[in-house]
Amino acid sequence: MRNGKKRARSEPGSTIQPRNKYSDNPPDFTLLASLYPSFKPYLFFSGARPRIDWTDYNATRELTRILLLHDHGVNWWIPDGQLCPTVPNRSNYIHWINDLLSSEIVQSLGGEGSSQVKGFDIGTGANCIYPLLGASLFGWSFVGSGFFFFFLYCIRASPLALSYSQLARFLYADVTDVALEWAEKNVISNPHLSDLIEIRDSQCSSDPHVPEVANTESEKHLSQTITEEAGFTHTAQPEDDNKSYIGPPVLVGVVKENETFDFCMSNPPFFETWGEAGLNPKTSCGGTPEEMVCNGGEQAFVTRIIEDSAVLRQRFRWYTSMLGKKANLKLLISKLWEVGVTIVKTTEFVQGQTSRWGLAWSFLPTVRKIIAPPVVKKSVLSFMLEGIKRQYSAVDVLQSVEEFFKSCGASCKLNSSTFSVDIVASNDQCNTISKNGTRDVDSMRSHEYEKQTLDGSSLQVPQDNLSFRILVFQQIPGSLLIKGSLQQKDSPLSGLFSVVFSSLEENMKSKFCR
């Protein structure tokens, strides 16, 4: 408890937003290929199942194009290399915002009786995906802001003698940028939506009342970065958890005087370095450095949104951001309570093999008294393994998960192609597991336990046993997401599942993380 307020609980369980049309109906590739011949060359069959090669950028871009056209009546394109959004995944976030707005947990902004919902998309990118989806699905109007210049290229110059404002103009200047050009093209190509969407350059501060304080720190860090990049000096970076955002304005300075919005949203640049971004070999969504990378990564970027929200406060009904790393939630939520928000909501977006997290907050009074939901026995749990020691891979972690449960007598079936282990454990075995959380499972292995593993066949599940699956997901290098899902959602042992899962978390962290 802080400021006498009760913390909101995270949303129970993980979700594909149920109102997202793709939640129960994944795109029908065969139908799409029959309707859109340009999609056909990207389709192949593995068994009876039509597939596309997710590592082929042209295939994922064509799928996005036809899904937007077929399902949303939106004309869309991006040039090679620009970040290609997946429609089902981006729809999740839009639907969650719609849920927040409809829940009326916080009062509406009031004002002049306009029922038009107004959103602000921080970093709309060349793809302009959120304004296009929000406008076509719900008729929302949007300001889509962008960071429309080639920052990393410009910063290599040596403008050391310039004042901050000259520097900013130099850095954020008129380098033609495909992002701006394409965001605008994507709006203009949709005359039925174009009145609803404004693309705004975040470097063109239009609010004369931007508080000085907003850039004092940025100025300091900006000069530091430039001198470092230019190779003139070395300034030690702070090593604490509080990473600083260095870059153009985010909300303060971009939002105009007297403007109010129902919400803001952001899919922030997740990564701190371009190397970190060269990640998932299983998919190809493209993305340029200026789209994917910012100083301090998503933690710093979202911290800046929080700081800006503390200045703008009730000018937005909801502030929201997406996060790529669950581990960042804790620190960001504690920052939120420090700046005096009235409510915090979180959710998890799951689409295929990808998980993302949503964070929302408000400074408006809450309308209904928030009653903590009854203790939910979760059927899906997860934790992150971060800072994994170099010598270990995802396979080592997967095998160790299997060993952890086998060592207590549970039946395990490891599937190395889906990176999962199916486990069946009796009540007694669960109790042993929960007690053994901190023990070194390698030293506990015995042939007796190994005998109980079923190879190649499906596991038999006696009624009173706990049956669950552990999945290992590759995140950014050095991080893995471990997810556990209970097979029998209403199992009377589901409370024990969370204890068992915590034991696993403790064991994996002590074994694999620095």
Per CB under 6 A, residues contacting ligand SAM are 83, 85, 122-125, 127, 129-130, 145-147, 179, 202, 247-248, 250, 267-269, 290-292, 294
Q: Between residues 171 and 292, which has the closer beta carbon with respect to ligand SAM?
A: 292
Q: How many angstroms separate the CA atoms of 48 and 68, rounded?
A: 26
* Contact status, residue 332 vs residue 306, Cβ threshold 8 Å: yes
- Shortest distance, position 347 Cβ to ligand SAM, whole Å: 17
Q: From the annotation, which residues make up the binding site for S-adenosyl-L-methionine? A: 90, 123, 174, 267
Q: Between residues 146 and 297, which has the closer beta carbon with respect to ligand SAM?
A: 146
Q: How many angstroms separate the CA atoms of 6 and 442, rounded?
A: 42
Q: Between residues 157 and 204, which has the closer beta carbon with respect to ligand SAM?
A: 204
- Shortest distance, position 203 Cβ to ligand SAM, whole Å: 8
Q: From the annotation, which residues make up the binding site? A: 90, 123, 174, 267
- Shortest distance, position 481 Cβ to ligand SAM, whole Å: 19
Q: Between residues 147 and 363, which has the closer beta carbon with respect to ligand SAM?
A: 147
Q: Between residues 90 and 511, which has the closer beta carbon with respect to ligand SAM?
A: 90
- Placement of tokens 């109010």 in the chain: 260
- Shortest distance, position 4 Cβ to ligand SAM, whole Å: 34
- Placement of tokens 């707005």 in the chain: 101
- Shortest distance, position 155 Cβ to ligand SAM, whole Å: 14
| DSSP letter string, 286-307 | ---HHHHB-TTHHHHHHHHHHH
Residues 6+ apart with CB under 8 A from 102: none
CA dihedral 192, 195, 196, 197 (to 10 degrees): 110
Q: Between residues 8 and 293, which has the closer beta carbon with respect to ligand SAM?
A: 293
Q: Between residues 125 and 297, which has the closer beta carbon with respect to ligand SAM?
A: 125
Q: How many angstroms separate the CA atoms of 240 and 242, rounded?
A: 6
- Shortest distance, position 263 Cβ to ligand SAM, whole Å: 14
Q: Between residues 252 and 471, which has the closer beta carbon with respect to ligand SAM?
A: 252
Distance between terminal CA atoms of the chain?
31
Q: What are phi and psi of 120, to 5 degrees?
A: -130, 115
SS3 329: helix
Q: How many angstroms separate the CA atoms of 147 and 289, rounded?
A: 12
Could you give the C-alpha distances from 172 to 291, 324, 433, 466, in angstroms and in order? 15, 27, 56, 57
Q: Between residues 205 and 267, which has the closer beta carbon with respect to ligand SAM?
A: 267
- Shortest distance, position 254 Cβ to ligand SAM, whole Å: 7
The shares of helix, strand and coil residues in the chain, as percent rounded to the nearest 5, are 35, 20, 45
Could you give the C-alpha distances from 378 to 43, 64, 277, 424, 484, in angstroms and in order? 38, 33, 32, 17, 10
- Shortest distance, position 153 Cβ to ligand SAM, whole Å: 13
* Contact status, residue 17 vs residue 354, Cβ threshold 8 Å: no
Could you give the C-alpha distances from 382 to 1, 372, 414, 439, 502, in angstroms and in order? 24, 21, 18, 21, 9
Q: SS3 string of 409-474?
A: CCEEEEECCCCEEEEEECHHHHHHHHHCCCCCHHHHCCHHHHHCCCCCCCCCCCCCCEEEEEEEEE
Residue nearest to ligand SAM (CB): 123
- Shortest distance, position 268 Cβ to ligand SAM, whole Å: 6
